[in-house]
Amino acid sequence: MTVAPVSGLPFTGLSATDLPAACLAAATDIGYRLARDAMWDGIRCNWFGPAFDDFGAGQQLGFGTLGPTLYDGTAGIALFLAALQRDSRDPVVAGTAAGAIEHALSRVEDVPDGLQIGLYTGWLGIGYAAILAGRDLCRADIVARGEALVTRAIEAVDIAAAPLDVMSGHAGAIPALLQLGTPQGRATAIACGDALLARAHDSARGLSWDTTGDMRALAETAGLTDDVARWFDEERPHLTGHSHGAAGIGLALFELAHATGERRFADAAARAFAYEDSWFTPQRGWPDLRHTDHSGCAPSAWCHGAAGIGLTRLRAWQLTGAPAYRAAAVEAMRLAAQVVLSALAGVHNYSLCHGVAGDAELFLLAASLLGDGEAAQLAATVALHGLSTYAQSGARWPCGVAGAGESPSLMLGIAGTGYFFLRMAAPQRTRSVLLITP
């Protein structure tokens, strides 16, 4: 992988040996800011952040308290803060982590119906965060309540009707349930895989899934305006990408094949990747098929585009040893590097979902699995730019909600930025929240 350098990027002058400590300091600063800004009600805490709501004819940006989910709610913030205090046992950070997960567990009924199995948006993700945060906090009571919520999610879900994708459905649930390792969870993961096979669309391109149909149904259930629900129209091609498309679903099936030894899951996974690769061109990469005119739209983000797709190919190569998946991952890194270096020289954000912190996860994984020094340097470049431009000056971090300033959340805001710096400081000790593996 060879990438042309971009001039004008600010660097701190830190040596490679200094970088982990500087990244930990940046994560700690973000943790203290979150603790400072938390609003308390008894043992629970919450934050204000950007939120979209119905006003008049459509969705408008406003501000309000956070919901309970992993993606943009208090469960995600708890996961970051609990990981941050794991070594320091800082009582302020630990107490805020506990308060955040207490809020999330107390508000599970706020999650819209149909999202019980959702990892990033539903009950499963809240329970998953509670289990991991409880372990980091040495709080067996929180772990037990997280386990109970995961069981409740499993028992409540309608497998046949649940969403399909990584964000809210089967593809996100499968690796999380396999990681948690209970017999009930394993059986549910297999049932989720069977549901994915049953609802796959077979075409000359490969296997694909109507995830926009799920999103349209969820928008209507949530009472969103008709124009928002219609955005997920039936005429769009089935999506590529990690969060809602064939990449994430294909990888979930590969994980299930590896865990069970069942060939049907591996065959379907390979055909999901084939569908996605049928849209690929070397010049544009994998297009974002959410857009009506997608001919020039090829982003690089965890949610859509090269970074998330590259993560799935790297993991698939790790599971299968197939050279084609390694080659696709290297191509994804090339495309992602071009986007990231261009972004750092201009307008960008440091969110995990669709910012440079999420892109850097691909480089971190490549450095670990492939021993790729250039990938390691790219991840360091993202970190160094953030340290010199925002952390050292105390400037507000650019986040993933356009025009809204800072968000406190994990996938769109500074909790995720802090988690990225934790990953940079100790990648072997800090689990990825962007690639859940058993």
pLDDT in tens, 112-169: 999 999 999 999 999 999 999 999 999 999 999 999 999 999 999 999 999 999 999 9
- Token readout for 75 is 């469960």
pLDDT for 374: 94
pLDDT for 415: 99
Total residue length of the chain? 438
- Please write the tens of the pLDDT for every residue from 405-426: 899 999 999 999 999 999 999 9
Angle at 30 between CA 137 and CA 338, to 5 degrees: 115
CA atoms within 13 A on the CB side of 239: 27
What residue spans define the domains of the chain?
A: 16-153
Residues of the chain scoring pLDDT < 70: 1-16, 52-60, 219-235, 292-298, 347
Instruction: Give every CB contact of residue 62 below 8 A, 6+ residues apart in sequence.
Output: 50, 51, 52, 53, 55
Among 397, 436, 402, residue whose Cα is nearest residue 79: 436
Among 386, 415, 394, 416, residue whose Cα is nearest residue 19: 386
Asked if residue 376 lies in contact with residue 389, where contact means CB atoms within 8 angstroms, the answer is no
CA–CA dist 311, 315 (Å, integer): 6
CA–CA dist 116, 194 (Å, integer): 18
